[in-house]
Amino acid sequence: MYQNKNVLILGLAKSGFAAAKLLHELGAKVTVNDQKPFEENEAAQSLEKMGIRVICGSHPLELLDESFDLMVKNPGIPYYNPLVAKAMEKGIPIITEVELAYQISEAPFIGITGSNGKTTTTTLIYEMLKEGGKQPLIAGNIGTVACEVAKEASSENWIVTELSSFQLMGIMDFQPKISVLLNLFNAHLDYHGTKEAYAQAKGNLFKNQTNDDFAVVNADDETVMKLVQSSDAAKVFFSTTQRLQNGAWMENGMIYFNGEEIIETKDIALPGKHNLENILAAVSAAKLTGVDNEAIVRVLKTFTGVKHRLQFVAEVNGRKFYNDSKATNILATQKALSAFEQDSVILLAGGLDRGNEFDELIPYFKNVKAIVLFGQTAQKLERAAKQAGIEMIEHVDNVEKAVPIAYELSQPGDIVLLSPACASWDQYKTFEQRGDIFIGAVHKLK
């Protein structure tokens, strides 16, 4: 398929590296272009040793004077990047690495997206399929790069893939056997420009599905329901508020799928009301692959969550510490605060300023007795905290310094919660790094 094709890989990171290597193996003439200087760029050096052409340090427009058949773009590089914009002008097809994975895969895909809950739902589906003997492989934003997984997969496997709006903008033929859209609200507007453009990117998940495929969607989310209308896939719904003819719902403390009792909610190990939507979506996807109820129940009774997503870290002198560093937007922090409705919370928050205010958090601050702030958004969060009547407000330089201060403000029985409501990039490379620093600081308290 790619033999002797001229392909430009724009941006390295894990996905660019994997795509370059794969295309080289498939006989393509690969050029890699990455912003990071060659001397500091281990990935570029490694690719050059394989005989792949690399151009580092900038994105020179004259690169496109060569005739490329395809551009594989790092999902994080926006379409208004001059090199990407010029490629679009020239009619060069632009894909992300997940499209490549689909093209070479023998295994069917389950694609999971949404503004929140993707990682938890993806992991739950993977665990349920594994417990049910379906030989799943996990890929995408969680786990290994999709095209590396696809290369090793056979038709006996399922590839369970967490997908971002950035990745979904770069698909052409990608057709998941089962798509899952959890929810939609304003996110990544700095990248997409409008909520409509963001929703459209998410909706790409359905665009190639046929009536042999399934779309698992949130019946309680208006935007999701509008988006799925145009899909040809067989629709399977989930809801925490209504009984459904078709799909998964919750009623009187019981979870049902197509009218069949699955598990009582009191027996579910995963904390937080917000996780019920993720559980219903995962149950739907697992049932559609043929996983039996016993396997689903075993997972739900033992699965306690994903690292950095409302992760219980430790109890120190009666205070429970939770790491929710993956809460990179307001909705995620709202959900985290809702999980601790009956408790006194010391909240650690702040990070990259995307231009938004935090008024939407005010109703959720009712059980927050103190807030410790850091990062670019500290002043904005302080305004919201004051409006909510929070009196104990502290500013610190970073997450590490926030932990001992939070401990001093707390009493036995309190919850200390890192749930930043912001991306990490003003101070940390990733939300994982931010969460790991929090965990380290909590263990130092002991």
Closest CA to 112 of 155, 133, 143: 143
Question: What's the CA gap between 285 and 14, in Å, rounded?
Answer: 28
Which has the closest alpha carbon to 202: 237, 165, 239?
Answer: 165
Known binding residue 194? Answer is: no
* Residue 184 dihedral angles phi and psi, to the nearest 5°: -145, 130
Does the annotation place 120 within a ligand binding site?
A: yes
| CB distance 83 to 62 below 8 Å | no
Identity of residue 103: Q
Q: What length does the chain have?
A: 446
How many CB atoms lie under 10 A from the CB of residue 190?
Answer: 12
Nearest Cα to Cα of residue 441 among 360, 369, 374, 356: 374
290 is in an annotated binding site: no
Interatomic CA distance for residues 308 and 418, integer angstroms: 9
**For 57, what's the count of Cα atoms within 13 Å in the CB-facing half-sphere?**
4
Q: Is 119 assigned to a binding site?
A: yes
Q: What angle do CA 148, 151, 155 make, to 5 degrees?
A: 130
Amino acid at 87: A
The C-alpha atoms of residue 109 and residue 101 are separated, in whole angstroms, by 10
Q: In angstroms, rounded to a whole number, what is the distance separating the alpha carbons of residues 174 and 100?
A: 9
Return all residues near 379 (Cβ < 8 A) that are at least 6 apart: none
Name the percent of the chain in helix, strand, coil, to the closest 5. Answer: 40, 20, 40
Q: Is 117 annotated as a binding residue?
A: yes
Q: Where are the beta strands (DSSP E) in 134-218?
A: 136-140, 158-162, 178-181, 214-218
- Is residue 367 marked as binding? no
Q: Is 118 annotated as a binding residue?
A: yes
The whole-angstrom separation of Cα 283 and Cα 121 is 9
Known binding-site positions: 114-120
Known binding-site positions for ATP: 114-120
